[in-house]
């Protein structure tokens, strides 16, 4: 009996890595070139395979030291034999010469990507090439003046006739101006979120409306021109809205996820939809709370005269 138990224990220990290893995500990271010229664009690729039952997700990469994003990433996902395959392509460039390392990114608790070294160099200068002489300045003949005065005179005459005809008509009384109803930005934003939650919008339409609600609130409440800014340009302005570090981090991840859905055709899960909705709703409420506190009278400023 002891021999049988020992044999079973040895077999279990040998089979454990294979049984549990199948549920671990597999990730591969690579760059198009390991040596690029200063300002030369290149691509960073991340391929993630999530077997059935494996836990992990594509990292949200919003910045890489010494590198800049030249365009939004392209993300594609597919399902094959119960496994989810995700391919992401990031378009990078660098204007800092030297040897730089793209850091590792966490996929799950136990899985991270490898680091990759990239050399950013100046273009090579060929000393054997002859110098080109500076060319003389080419004189440009001035254009001949056209007789435009008769066109200006005719236009002025027509303008005087129009003014005369308009002043001849009887002047009517002042037209009453309708005062536009003042809309509270917070109530408007929360109402729009409630309507979006009840609607059947999904995918790109859902995330577009969700981010537009937040950007419009930010414009009307804080005066930030958020409608015309990219997510990367908008994030620095959010640091002055009074959000905590945790609230700001959740909001930034939600805005970047929205970009992946709108521009990279990423297919989010229902849980990601709800998380993004909750983070934007909490951010609006937090900014409104800070705004209302700034309007409240401070202690000691009021009193009887």
pLDDT tens-digit readout, 180-192 = 556 788 999 899 9
Look at 2-11, 111-120, 127-136, 266-275 and tell me which has the smallest mean pLDDT.
Answer: 2-11
Flag whether 87 is in a domain. Answer: yes
Q: Is the pLDDT of residue 12 over 60?
A: no
What is the per-residue pLDDT for 29? 93
Look at 130-134, 135-139, 219-223, 298-302 and tell me which has the smallest mean pLDDT.
Answer: 298-302
Position 90 confidence tier, pLDDT thresholds 50, 70, 90 = very high
Domain shared by 101 and 197, yes or no: no
For residues 50 and 58, what is the distance between their CA atoms, to the nearest angstrom?
10
- Final residue in a domain of this structure, among 101, 121, 141: 121
Q: Which is it for strands 116-121 and 98-102: parallel, antiparallel or unpaired?
A: antiparallel
Domain shared by 31 and 103, yes or no: yes
**% pLDDT > 90, the chain:** 19
Flag whether 196 is in a domain. Answer: yes
Find the mean pLDDT for residues 100-126: 86
Decide: 47 and 22 in contact? Cβ < 8 Å: no
Flag whether 229 is in a domain. Answer: yes
For residues 267 and 203, what is the distance between their CA atoms, to the nearest angstrom?
7
Q: Is the pLDDT of residue 16 over 90?
A: no
- Final residue in a domain of this structure, among 121, 142, 158: 121
What is the per-residue pLDDT for 8? 52
What is the tally of structural domains in the chain? 2
Flag whether 288 is in a domain. Answer: yes
User: Domain containing 196: what range?
Assistant: 185-294
Q: Is the pLDDT of residue 118 over 90?
A: yes
Q: Is the pLDDT of residue 143 over 70?
A: no
For residues 179 and 214, what is the distance between their CA atoms, to the nearest angstrom?
26
Which of 144 and 139 is assigned the larger pLDDT?
139
Helix (H) or strand (E) holding 215: helix 203-222
Domain shared by 92 and 192, yes or no: no
Domain shared by 35 and 112, yes or no: yes
What is the per-residue pLDDT for 11? 47
What is the per-residue pLDDT for 172? 53
The reported pTM is: 0.42
Q: Is the pLDDT of residue 151 over 50?
A: yes
- Final residue in a domain of this structure, among 78, 97, 121: 121
Flag whether 46 is in a domain. Answer: yes
Decide: 267 and 198 in contact? Cβ < 8 Å: no
What is the per-residue pLDDT for 228? 72
Flag whether 80 is in a domain. Answer: yes
Q: Is the pLDDT of residue 304 over 50?
A: no
pLDDT tens digits, one per residue of 196-215: 888 878 888 888 998 899 88
Q: Is the pLDDT of residue 174 over 60?
A: no
- We report the CATH number of the domain holding residue 66 as 2.60.40
Find the mean pLDDT for residues 283-291: 88
Out of 124-133, 233-242, 243-252, the most confident range is 243-252
Q: Is the pLDDT of residue 58 over 60?
A: yes
For residues 264 and 247, what is the distance between their CA atoms, to the nearest angstrom?
25
Decide: 217 and 189 in contact? Cβ < 8 Å: yes
Flag whether 11 is in a domain. Answer: no
Which of 291 and 148 is assigned the larger pLDDT?
291
Flag whether 158 is in a domain. Answer: no
């Amino acid at each position: 009996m002891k021999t049988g138990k020992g044999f079973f224990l040895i077999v279990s220990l040998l089979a454990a890595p294979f049984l549990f290893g199948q549920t671990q995500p597999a990730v591969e990271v690579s760059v198009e070139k390991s040596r690029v010229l200063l300002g030369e664009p290149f691509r960073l690729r991340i391929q993630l395979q999530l077997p059935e039952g494996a836990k992990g997700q594509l990292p949200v990469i919003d910045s890489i030291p010494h590198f800049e994003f030249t365009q939004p990433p392209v993300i594609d996902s597919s399902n094959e034999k119960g496994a989810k395959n995700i391919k992401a392509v990031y378009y990078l460039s660098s204007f800092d010469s030297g040897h730089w390392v793209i850091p590792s990114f966490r996929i799950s608790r136990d899985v991270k990507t490898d680091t990759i070294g990239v050399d950013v160099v100046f273009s090579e200068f060929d000393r054997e090439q002859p110098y080109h002489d500076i060319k003389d300045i080419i004189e440009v003949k001035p254009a001949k003046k056209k007789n435009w005065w008769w066109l200006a005179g005719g236009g002025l005459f027509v303008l005087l006739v129009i003014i005369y005809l308009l002043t001849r008509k009887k002047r009517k009384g002042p037209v009453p101006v309708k005062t536009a109803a003042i809309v509270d930005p917070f109530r408007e934003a929360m109402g729009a979120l409630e309507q979006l939650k009840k609607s059947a919008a999904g995918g790109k339409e859902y995330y577009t409306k969700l981010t537009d609600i937040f950007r419009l609130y930010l414009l009307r409440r804080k005066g930030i021109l958020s409608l015309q800014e990219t997510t990367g340009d908008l994030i620095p302005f959010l640091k002055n809205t009074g959000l905590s570090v945790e609230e700001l981090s959740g909001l930034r991840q939600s805005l970047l996820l929205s970009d992946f859905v709108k521009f990279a055709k990423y297919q989010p899960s229902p849980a990601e939809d709800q998380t993004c909705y909750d983070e934007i709703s909490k951010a609006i409420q937090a900014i409104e709370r800070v705004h209302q506190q700034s309007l409240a009278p401070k202690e000691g400023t009021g009193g009887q005269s």
